[in-house]
Amino acid sequence: MKKFVPEAVKPFARASRDKFKQSGFYLMRRFPVIGALYYATFSAEYRREQGAVLAGRAQYIRELSELRSTSALLRRNTHRLEKGLIMRPRREVFGVNYIAETVNIYCRASEVTSFDPDELQWSFDVLSAFFDAVQPGQNAIVDNARSIFEGLAINKRHDQRVPYQYGDLPPSEISFEQLEVLFRRRRSVRWFDGRSVSVELLNQAVRIASYAPSACNRLPYQFVVANGPELAPQLAALANGTPGWAENIPCTIAVVGDLSAYFAERDRHLIYIDGALASMQFMQACDTLGLATCPINWPDIEGNELAIRKLLDLSESQRTVMLIAVGYADPAGLIPYSEKKRPEVLMRYLSKAD
C-alpha cells in the first residue's frame, strides 16, 4: 500500500495516522473496556504472552503430579520455610498452610531418580530445621506432616543447607573502587577476535550467576547456549539489533524464562526480573574470566518469537528474556561511550507528608 502513496502525501498521512492513534489510546486509557476490545480484536501484541501464561499455569499444575528434575513448588515452599526460620521473633508455629503440601511433594520428589540431588538435600535440611524449631504438640497439621517426614527421613544425612548468620559469610576483599572498575569494564562489546569460548568458562560464569536473587529461589530461567561459528551468528541474527556484526560472534546465549514456575498471572513478569538479575551477574563474571559480553535486546515480535521458538525448541510456557553475545574482545574494536545519568537524576527521595 505504501508504494502507491505519493511521497509528498506521506508526511501528512503519517501525521494523521499518529494523531488518530493518540486519540484512540487516550480513549482506551479513559475507558478500559475499549482497550480490552481493541487488544482482543485488532491487536495481537499481548496474545503470545497470554498464551504463555496460560500454558505455564497448565504446566505448573501438570508438574505437581509429574515431577522431573526440579519442582518450582518445592523450591518456593522450602524458601518460605527458610523465611519463617529467620524471622525475629520467630513464631512458635508457622508454615501451617503449606507444610503438608511441602512434605508431600518432597516425599514424591525423593522417589524420582532424576530429581536434582542438591535441591532435594536443601529441602530435606530445611524441613529438618523446621521440625526442630516447631515443637511437637503445637499443631495437629504440623505433627501429622512431621510423622510422614520422619518416616521417610530415616538414615538421611544432614548437609546443613539451612539459614545461617550474616556474620558467617566470608569477608570480601573487594573495595568499592575495585568494584567500580569491574562495572566500568562491563561494556557492550560487538567485535570479537575469533577465539572460541570454552564450556568450562561458561559453566563457571553460570554458576556464579545463579547466586543472583530470585523470587522464592525458583530460578525460573535457563541459559541456552549456541556456541561456535555456525550456531552463534544464527541465533544472534534473530534479534533486530545485530545486522552487520552478528557474523563475528563466537557464542550467543539466549536467556529463557519459564512461566510454568508460577501458579498465578500476578507473577508473569518475574521471569524477566529474575532472568535479568542473573544475566547481569553472568556478564560481570565473564569479565573476570577474560570474556567480553553484549546484552542484545529481544523484541516481542511475532515473527521473531516463532523463529527463536523453533531454533531453541521452546515450549509454550517459555519466553525469551534477552540474548547475550560472548567472546574474547578485539582490542582494536570500538565500543560506545554511552554517557550515564547522574545519581540525582536516577534517584528520588520520599518526603514526609505535611
86-107 confidence digits (pLDDT tens): 999 999 999 999 999 999 999 9
Q: Spell out a b/e string for 292-322, using b for 16 or more CB atoms within 10 Å of the CB, else e.
A: bbbbbebeeeeeebeebbeebebebbbbbbb
Query: Does 254 score more than 70 pLDDT?
Result: yes
Confidence (pLDDT) at 37: 80
- Tell me how far apart the alpha carbons of residues 323 and 82 are, in angstroms, rounded to a whole number: 33
Residue 235 · residue 335 · CB < 8 Å? no
**Span 19-39, average pLDDT:** 73
- CATH pick for 176-327 out of 3.90.1300.10, 3.40.50.970, 3.40.109.10, 3.20.20.70: 3.40.109.10
pLDDT in tens, 115-138: 999 999 999 999 999 999 999 999
Q: What is the pLDDT of residues 54-71, one digit of tens each?
A: 999 998 998 888 899 999
Cβ-contact 49, 319 below 8 angstroms: yes
Average pLDDT, the chain: 92
Which residues pair with residue 188 across a beta bridge?
A: 293
**DSSP helix, strand, coil percent of the chain (3-state; round to 5):** 50, 10, 40
Average pLDDT rounded to a whole number, residues 202-216: 98
Q: Residue 327 carries which DSSP code?
A: E
Q: Which residue has the cell 559480553?
A: 293
Pairs from 155-158 (Cβ < 8 Å, separation ≥ 24): 156/124, 158/124, 158/125, 158/128
- Position 236 confidence tier, pLDDT thresholds 50, 70, 90: very high
pLDDT given for residue 263 in this prediction: 92
How far is residue 48 CA from its own chain's centroid?
18
- Please choose, from the candidates 254, 248, 247, the residue with its C-alpha nearest in 3D space to the C-alpha of residue 312: 254
Q: How far apart are CA 301 and CA 287, in angstroms?
A: 31
Where do the structural domains in the chain lie, given as residue ranges? Answer: 2-43, 60-152, 176-327
Residue pair 254/224 in contact (Cβ under 8 Å)? The answer is: yes
pTM (whole model) above 0.85:
yes
Q: Is the pLDDT of residue 5 over 60?
A: no
The mean pLDDT of 231-246, rounded to a whole number, is 96
- The amino acid at residue 37 is L
Residues 6+ away with beta carbon under 8 Å from 347: none
Position 231 pLDDT exceeds 60: yes
Write the DSSP string, 216-271: GG---EEEEEEESTTHHHHHHTTSTT-TTTGGG-SEEEEEEEEGGG-SSGGGTTHH
The pLDDT of residue 178 is above 90: yes
